Chain A
Amino acid sequence: MSLCCFHLTYRIAEPLEYHRSFLKENCRPDGRELSEFRTTTLNIGSISTADGSALVKIGNTTIICGIKAELANPTADAPGKGYIVPNVDLPPLCSSRFRPGPPGEQAQAASQFIADVIERCDQHVTTLCLCWVLYCDIMCLDYDGNILDACIIALLAALKNTQLPEVTVNKETCSPEVNLEKRQRLHIHKHPASASFCVFDDSILIVDPTAEEESLSTAHLTVVTDEEGRLCSVHKPGGSSLSREKLQDCINRATARQREIHKLIDKVLDSVKTAK
């Protein structure tokens, strides 16, 4: 009993030393290996009012993504294509570190990161001078580290789940007519999946950090790969420097993770199809 209390107080009083003592034995406080991900679960189509939705849990981190499609005029720099507007929201519900009010730096930086990754991922069908705009709202319900990975999985699963209604242009009134009964899926060209890493004490690399590990680390790194082994993004917003060998290790681990995630998403989508 007293030993258990000692561990708890040690964890609060000296969190860095507590984690270091585990890392010396090549494992982490929750029993994982240094390169092991937490259990990932995926649930799609949970929001019936949205055109597509997905709920992802990586350990305790819970992210939900809802997609709404609207018709709008295409942007000036890409006149033949539709566009995606992702928005990541980190409400005070998910963690005590976020205060109510306008989105903080972490939420905005996450939104920009996802916009950069998704930008060249798929195309939409356009009808004359109108195009589809997909508003993707990604909300975190429980923050336990590694939200970028979960956001990417949620967004991809929600996009694959999205069904856009068919649009025909009425020749007499020259206005679009939306047929909500007939729906078609989106064509997704690439399937990116990301793996996040954390650097401890400038030397030890761990995969899928929890919120506590993130706050104690000296650097974060997120690698996004697609199914062809190409990199979609290497996002390392500062922190201690990384050698080329460590970077290569991260890329290899990310490629393995991409295959796991791809299988998971396909399995879930198939199960929804067979259920229907």
Chain B
Amino acid sequence: MTSFSCDKHRFHREGGMMEVFPSSTVSLREFGCEQTLLSRPDGSASFVQGDTSVMAGVYGPAEVKISKEIYDRATLEVLVHPKVGLPGVRERSQEQCVRETCEASLLLSLHPRSSLTLVLQVLHDDGALLSCCLNAACMALMDAGLSMSCLFCGVTCAISADGEIITDPTAAQEKESRALMTFAIDSKERRVMMSSTKGSFSVHELQQCVAASQKASEKIFQFYRDSVRRRYSKNL
């Protein structure tokens, strides 16, 4: 575990290996995060999972366009920018997933007629991109100081051609897999908030992946806690 700190931001790295059922292990790639790295947004965070890296910035609560305003809640807008090219149809679907997950966990009714903008920039994609976006989004929202009813984390599972479940797959593993699932798990009851799947799989495999994601999410939430504790602790 390596870490270094300076006045403005803290960088925290950790890896994880854990046992879920006797027959398979849940392993996550080494992940790290950095908060308050940008000066202009109200909250920012960068999340790294293996080689996949996403940077998130949050602006808000700010003024909202009258056409978009909601009288009793804040309006959340999410923008996902890919590393190369303009945002396309795939990015729109990722934006919908991230936005609805954030809307369910943020206390939007505290900021009526305001806007919250969350911008996600993909720095490198080596598999598990949507879950890395979710993790970066959660850390950025925490950094911005927005009130949330629960935290959330993203976990990706891939089912390989021979039925093996791989959590946090690399891009090569994703390509070889016959099914790919991304879940967002909430911190209060470890239930599934968001699910986005691709490929064909059986109900039993779905249940196994959900269980594996719930186990992996515990590790990620512990990492969030440690990150924030290190950031706010006076002695390091």
Query: A: which residues have CB within 8 A of B?
Result: 105-106, 108-109, 111-113, 115-116, 119-120, 190, 218-219, 221, 226, 229-244, 247-248, 251
**Chain B hits for A115, CB < 8 A:** 89
CB pair A235–B197 under 8 Å, yes or no, is yes
Cβ contacts B87-103/A at 8 Å (1 or 0 each):
00110110111111111
**Chain A hits for B191, CB < 8 A:** 241-243
Cβ contacts B192-236/A at 8 Å (1 or 0 each):
111111111111001100100000000000000000000000000
- Distance in angstroms between the alpha carbons of A190 and B206 in the assembled complex: 19
Given contact pairs A236-B192, A243-B191, A251-B206, a sample of 8 additional A-B residue pairs in the complex whose CB atoms are under 8 Å apart: A112-B92, A219-B104, A235-B196, A236-B194, A237-B97, A241-B191, A244-B210, A247-B210
CB pair A241–B197 under 8 Å, yes or no, is no
- Distance in angstroms between the alpha carbons of A124 and B228 in the assembled complex: 53
Instruction: Identify the 4 closest CB pairs spanning chains A and B, nearest first.
Output: A238-B100, A241-B191, A238-B101, A112-B93
CB pair B92–A238 under 8 Å, yes or no, is no
**Chain B hits for A238, CB < 8 A:** 96-104, 184, 193-194
Instruction: List 18 A-B pairs, Cβ < 8 Å.
Output: A105-B92, A109-B93, A109-B95, A112-B92, A120-B199, A231-B200, A231-B203, A232-B200, A234-B181, A236-B192, A237-B194, A238-B99, A238-B184, A239-B103, A239-B193, A241-B186, A241-B193, A242-B191
**Chain B hits for A251, CB < 8 A:** 203, 206
- Distance in angstroms between the alpha carbons of A221 and B186 in the assembled complex: 17
Knowing A218-B104, A226-B200, A230-B202, the reply to whether A235 touches B195 (Cβ < 8 A) is: yes
- Distance in angstroms between the alpha carbons of A108 and B191 in the assembled complex: 27
Most chain B C-beta atoms within 10 Å of own C-beta, residue among A112, A113, A219: A112
CB pair B93–A233 under 8 Å, yes or no, is no
B165 to chain A: closest CB distance in Å? 15
**Chain B hits for A235, CB < 8 A:** 195-197
Chain A residues touching B, majority SS:
mixed
**Chain B hits for A111, CB < 8 A:** 89
Query: B: which residues have CB within 8 A of A?
Result: 89-90, 92-93, 95-104, 181, 184, 186, 189, 191-203, 206-207, 210
CB pair A108–B93 under 8 Å, yes or no, is yes
- Contact partner of B202 (CB less than 8 A), chosen from A106, A120, A229, A244, is A229
**Chain A hits for B195, CB < 8 A:** 221, 234-236
**Chain B hits for A226, CB < 8 A:** 200
A167 to chain B: closest CB distance in Å? 29
Closest to B214 in A: A244
CB pair B198–A116 under 8 Å, yes or no, is yes
Knowing A234-B206, A240-B104, A244-B207, the reply to whether A112 touches B201 (Cβ < 8 A) is: no
Knowing A112-B90, A234-B206, the reply to whether A105 touches B198 (Cβ < 8 A) is: no
**Chain A hits for B93, CB < 8 A:** 108-109, 112-113, 237
- Contact partner of B196 (CB less than 8 A), chosen from A119, A231, A237, is A237
- Distance in angstroms between the alpha carbons of A120 and B177 in the assembled complex: 12
CB pair A120–B200 under 8 Å, yes or no, is yes
Closest to B97 in A: A237
Closest to B184 in A: A238
CB pair B98–A241 under 8 Å, yes or no, is no
**Chain A hits for B193, CB < 8 A:** 236, 238-241
A108 to chain B: closest CB distance in Å? 4
B71 to chain A: closest CB distance in Å? 14
**Chain A hits for B102, CB < 8 A:** 238
**Chain A hits for B202, CB < 8 A:** 229-231
- Distance in angstroms between the alpha carbons of A235 and B181 in the assembled complex: 10
Closest to B199 in A: A120
Closest to A117 in B: B198
- Contact partner of A230 (CB less than 8 A), chosen from B184, B198, B201, is B201
- Distance in angstroms between the alpha carbons of A231 and B184 in the assembled complex: 19
